[in-house]
Amino acid sequence: MTRLLVTGGTGLLGGAVVEGARGRGWDVTASCRRVPGRSPADGVAWAALDLAEPGAAGALVERVRPDAVIHTAAMTSPAEAEADPARAFRVNAAAAGEMAAACARAEARIIHLTTDLVFDGQSGPYGEEDVPTAASAYGRSKAASEAAVAAAHADHVVVRTSLLLGRSARGDRGVDEAMERTLRAGGRARLFVDELRTPLAADDLAAVLLALCGHAYRGLLHVAGPAAVSRYDLGVRIARARGLDLSLLEAVRMADVPGLVPPRAPAPVLRTDRLRALLPALPRPRALDAVLARR
């Protein structure tokens, strides 16, 4: 049995990883900022972890002594990171480096999650060999986290990914469920036609992460959806799949919204050639319409 530590276990991706690991019969410890009163997953050991606290990430690894760590926890709001970049670097970069160093001492593999927003989106699509060019504090903090993990531990995989779809415990973490909640309440959504991303299902990404726990691959790996779509096109597809009112969607261009904070990356599209080369050893993310067709 594999002993796995999952940070951010109550989040959309972390929850999918926990569920997938338990389905494999693994011994799972999951962290969150506040331990839930009732465990959302039977048989999971829960631990509190505040990444803003220096040393806390390393101490948790030393206490759990896992065979592998899947590190999904982060400050994920670009707006919050732009407002407090020092905290973003503490939570996203410094804590990741501390966790990786603790994994090195424990001889545990670490799989660290980062983002397509390490790129400014001006000259994609991007491969693993491309140098990060983040336009936002969030993207810069995640680029710094990649370097910190790589410097601290040889047995690592840094997984860059994109927008995630799926159902979360809170009901608002997946891009699709957040959009559905807005439209069902009659709210309007202004969506960019010139911002391209490569969305994928959280449980598809979780399956890749779990497979990587026992795979020999090390280094950077892009795991993203098979096709790039605009934010507006994504909204249309979500609305159609859920039977929602398309008239509530407004197509806009980034130039129509002056003073965007944080700065937007127009097309941080990830190439996934390396992931495809590793198939069939790793699962393949499904096409967007197949993901949306499943409730």
Whether pLDDT at 279 is above 90: no
| Superfamily the domain 3-166+200-226+268-286 falls into | NAD(P)-binding Rossmann-like Domain (3.40.50.720)
Burial 138-172 (b: 16+ CB within 10 A, else e): bbbbbbbbbebbbebbeebbbbbbbbbbbbbeeee
> What count of residues does the chain have?
295
**Tens of pLDDT, residues 134-189:** 999 999 999 999 999 999 999 999 999 999 999 887 777 899 999 999 999 999 99
* Average pLDDT of the chain to the nearest whole number: 94
Q: List the catalytic residue out of 126, 138, 217, 232.
A: 138
pLDDT at position 294: 78
Instruction: Please identify which residue in the block is written with the tokens 């040393």.
Output: 55
Whether pLDDT at 105 is above 80: yes
- pLDDT, average across residues 95-110: 98
pLDDT at position 260: 87
Residue 269's pLDDT band (boundaries 50, 70, 90)?
A: very high
pLDDT at position 237: 97
CB within 8 A of 225, min separation 6: which ones? 162, 198, 199, 200, 285, 287, 288
- pLDDT, average across residues 283-295: 90
**Tens of pLDDT, residues 23-43:** 999 999 999 987 766 555 568
Q: Tally the C-alpha atoms within 13 A of residue 249's C-alpha that lie toward its C-beta.
A: 20
- pLDDT, average across residues 57-72: 98
Task: For residue 138, indicate whether it is catalytic.
Answer: yes
Whether pLDDT at 126 is above 90: yes
Entry pTM? 0.95
Report the run of H or E that residue 242 belongs to, with start and end: helix 231-242
